[in-house]
Amino acid sequence: MGKVATTFKIMPENPEVDFEKIVEDLKTKIDVKDYKIEPIAFGLKMLKVMVITVDSEGGIDEIESMIGDMDGISEVSVESSTLI
């Protein structure tokens, strides 16, 4: 099995969400390789997180679901996924 680099786009519930706290919480659950906070519009921001996992059925879906269940998260989607 190979490894997969996946980037998730994470939208907050509201503009006051502490992204640094979300990243710290994520780091305790998954191996976060990189992240960045990007402005969207009108003061809204989104978080992009890259993780590396082992290629397996359902692995990315499980991570996406786990992130979506965290406090302060409104929406999660996979932006990109590639074998490395």
pLDDT tens for residues 32-68?
999 999 999 888 899 999 999 887 767 888 899 999 9
Amino acid at 79: E
In angstroms, rounded to a whole number, what is the distance separating the alpha carbons of residues 46 and 67?
14
Whether pLDDT at 6 is above 70: yes
Task: Report d(CA 58, CA 63) in Å as an integer.
Answer: 9
pLDDT at 2: 84
**What pLDDT score does 54 carry?**
82
The pTM score is: 0.87
Structurally, the chain folds into a number of domains equal to 1
CATH value at residue 45: 3.30.70.60
- Domain hosting 19: range is 3-79
- What percentage of the chain reaches a pLDDT higher than 90? 61
Tell me if 84 is assigned to some domain: no
pLDDT at 57: 65
Phi/psi-derived region of residue 25, left when phi > 0, alpha when psi is between -120 and 50, beta in every other case: alpha
Which residue pairs, CB below 8 angstroms and at least 24 apart, start in 33-40?
33/5
42 domain-assigned: yes
